[in-house]
Structure 1
Amino acid sequence: MDEVKKLIDEIRKGDVKPIYFLMGEEGYYIDRIAEYIGKNLLSEEEKGFNQMTLYGKDVSIDDIVSNAKRYPMMSERQVVIVKEAQHLSRTIEQLATYAEHPQPSTVLVICYKYKKLDKRKKLHKVLKAPNGVVFESKKLYENQVSDWIRKMLKNKGFSISHKASILLVEFLGTDLSRIHNELEKLEVVLPTNTEITPEIIEKHIGISKDYNNFELKKAIGEKDVMKAARIINYFSQNPKENPFVVTVSLLHTFFSQLLQYHGLQDHSARNVASALRINPYFVDEFQIAARNYSMKKSSRVISSLREMDLKGKGVGSSNMSQSDLLKELLMKIM
């Protein structure tokens, strides 16, 4: 993310602001920036007296301000990092008074995950240079995450096949922190310059390259009954690794997008990828599925998926087993 690189480059060059207000839906970048500041602004000797971490659920705004106003000991500055500051959302505006005249020798880092400041209010307005920096960490769309994985691995001397990156996204979703943790496991066991393949992911992360929701969705789209049946049989035998609720959710998203596909006038690959917010790699799947499932049939499948979602949660299912739920699901779709 260019904004993150720019921010860290500024800090590395010595352009350090008194306040860093890190907010937004994607927690990964908030953690990375706070981690960089925590590791690099003070020497190990200085950290003992001049660096502290507070938690939003345990402190008040007054506590934060009181700590921020302290003078450093035997150091040019001190660092105060407030994690989980979203717990202070009801009182966060009280920080505006301090933000107007921050302590020059303090670097205050506020990690305000999953929330955003109201730009119309005072705090957001006063958190500007030279007083501070407001950084918004935005959630990536699913079609952007594969590219993020590729770039992340390239920076560390690895590459990844397209199918392998898609497999990671299908299994781990768009949670960048979770993906980062899994990639770090691979980096430990693999030599540099390795291309990460579905086989490597299956061996080291435990995601089956053949029996996963990505392959199930593809089989259903192609109306390959035998392949779909083999996959749900595997899911039935490994219910903890393949929760029914996740399968239903992913299929619901797929058929909702397929319904949207039917409504498009321009079915070119570029337009489909843009309109559905999917990786261009998946456009062929929608083109094939559209031939097998009309708009009317897609609507019926969505209705069936909603019904199966309720059954999976115990509504009107008489505690059906995952095996029976999956079989009924496949029958209703195909």
Structure 2
Amino acid sequence: MLYCIKKISVGEQNMINDLHKKLKKNVSPMYLLVGTEDFLLQEVENLIVKAALQGEVDDFNYQTYDLKEAYLSEALEDAQTPSFFGGNKVIIIKSCVFLTAQKEKIVQDIEPLFDYIDNPAPFTTVVFIAPYEKLDERKKVTKALKKQVELVECHPVEVNNLDGWIKEQFIGNVTITKEAIEKLKLLVGNNLSILKLECEKLQLFIGNEGEVTEDLVEMMVAKTIEQNVFSLIEKTAVRQTTDALKILHELLYIGEEPIKIVALLASQFRLLYGIKQLSSSGYSNNQIASSVGVSPGRVFYGQKQANNFQVSELKEAIRLIAEVDYKMKTGQGDKILILEMLILQLNK
């Protein structure tokens, strides 16, 4: 079996290279790709297709079936049908919900799969894609399939291994500071697809030589609503009321719902309270991250933010936000006005 995630610690590219070498020696009749990392899922799929078809991809030897809209039986029938011009073919079967405990949008007849597993077509490579965190190992079909396929696990990179992966994305004489890496992780998280795109954007901006700094990341990387809420709290922490309201109005202008903003404010203030409590008890950033269920990078920046508040202030903020949430949900006034009043109260 191939376990992509185990190779990430020495660089995602090494994992891809190892898979490429294995495919050069032999292409298996069936693969099962499991995991939630879209980037790795796509990379592995591309490698398998290229190896199986030797780069000759067309409508006659390559087909994709998404089981959200198609039937498994159709895909398997296609797999058993020789290519129009002969030679090898590849069938991609996406959204294999039947391997999990989740409810299927289209109920699949899995009986033909047992027959295919026992006698796969010699001219076809079938790639089953299950973009989920885990499979239901109790199911007979899951057990049967895993016995016969080449399993490729494509899970998100562990946070502890992410710094090195980010550094590897930059070529030439381009370096990235530790602070810039932390800011990038804070803004993007550990989604490899988005991280790779953001690194490419930074590389294009800086050219073949230079240093990617925290300020450059701040300027170039697009902020999510969560990051804008983080910035809003940052302004609140230093009592910059005008700037805080400006960020709020920008969020409202682009169509963010007031109740969603309140929910994110509540989540962030609870996180700051947890960080402050655990930090005062002597917990390290990694221990705090494990306890509250976020990345060490987010704890790093949360710690800085929490230092601007007293414990009593964080408790009061959580109480005020809970009151506002109740008022909004029970229709007690204009939501935008209630939200603006909350920001003013938090900035006292």
The TM-score bracket by the shorter chain reads 0.7 to 0.9
CA distance in 2, matches of 1:18, 1:188: 40
Identify the match of residue 292 of structure 1 among 309, 313, 331.
309
Tell me what 2:92 maps to.
81
Query: Given the two structures, how large is their TM-score scaled by the length of structure 1?
Result: 0.75
Matches within 5 A, 1:252-267: 252-261=266-275, 262-263=277-278, 265-267=281-283
CA offsets 1:196-225 (integer angstroms, 9 cap, x no match): 3355446555559xx9444444454xx311
Q: Does the 8 A contact of 1:232 with 1:327 survive in 2?
A: no
CA distance in 2, matches of 1:146, 1:250: 25
Q: Does the 8 A contact of 1:23 with 1:136 survive in 2?
A: yes
Q: Does the 8 A contact of 1:46 with 1:74 survive in 2?
A: no
Give the aligned residue type for 1:298: L
CA offsets 1:48-100 (integer angstroms, 9 cap, x no match): 53112222233211101101112345565211112344466742744343223
SS at match of 2:47: helix
Structure 1 segments, 4+ long, off by >6 Å, are none
Identify the match of residue 272 of structure 1 among 288, 291, 298.
288
CA distance in 2, matches of 1:157, 1:85: 43
CA distance in 2, matches of 1:241, 1:160: 32
Query: Given the two structures, how large is their TM-score scaled by the length of structure 2?
Result: 0.72
Query: Structure 1 pair 292/34, CA: closer, same or farther in 2 (3 Å)?
Result: same
CA distance in 2, matches of 1:73, 1:274: 54
CA distance in 2, matches of 1:57, 1:156: 43
Matches within 5 A, 1:37-186: 37-45=48-56, 47-72=58-83, 76-86=87-97, 90-91=107-108, 93-94=110-111, 95-114=113-132, 116-128=134-146, 131-139=148-156, 147=163, 150-151=166-167, 153-154=169-170, 158-186=174-202
Structure 1 residue 171, shift from structure 2 partner: 4.1
Structure 1 residue 19, shift from structure 2 partner: 1.7
Query: Structure 1 pair 315/268, CA: closer, same or farther in 2 (3 Å)?
Result: same
SS at match of 2:335: coil
In structure 1, the gaps of 5 or more residues are none
Query: Structure 1 pair 145/240, CA: closer, same or farther in 2 (3 Å)?
Result: farther
Tell me what 2:40 maps to.
29
Q: Does the 8 A contact of 2:27 with 2:48 survive in 1?
A: no
Q: Does the 8 A contact of 2:169 with 2:200 survive in 1?
A: no
Q: Does the 8 A contact of 1:146 with 1:165 survive in 2?
A: no
Q: Does the 8 A contact of 1:38 with 1:79 survive in 2?
A: yes
Structure 1 residue 103, shift from structure 2 partner: 2.0
SS at match of 1:108: strand
Q: Does the 8 A contact of 1:24 with 1:116 survive in 2?
A: yes
CA offsets 1:233-268 (integer angstroms, 9 cap, x no match): 244246455945665454433332333331573334
CA distance in 2, matches of 1:310, 1:185: 42
Give the aligned residue type for 2:143: K
Q: Does the 8 A contact of 1:85 with 1:112 survive in 2?
A: yes
Tell me what 1:16 maps to.
27
CA distance in 2, matches of 1:153, 1:77: 34
CA distance in 1, matches of 2:109, 2:197: 31
CA distance in 2, matches of 1:22, 1:89: 21
Q: Does the 8 A contact of 2:73 with 2:109 survive in 1?
A: no
Give the aligned residue type for 1:109: V
Structure 1 residue 172, shift from structure 2 partner: 4.1
Q: Does the 8 A contact of 1:170 with 1:214 survive in 2?
A: no
CA distance in 2, matches of 1:97, 1:333: 67
Report how many aligned residue pairs link the two structures: 324
Query: Structure 1 pair 200/275, CA: closer, same or farther in 2 (3 Å)?
Result: same
Identify the match of residue 335 of structure 2 among 314, 320, 329.
320
Identity of aligned residues (%): 22
In structure 2, the gaps of 5 or more residues are 98-103
Q: Which moved more, 1:30-39 or 1:183-192?
A: 183-192
Q: Does the 8 A contact of 1:81 with 1:109 survive in 2?
A: yes
CA distance in 1, matches of 2:185, 2:96: 29
Structure 1 residue 293, shift from structure 2 partner: 2.9
Structure 1 residue 333, shift from structure 2 partner: 6.8
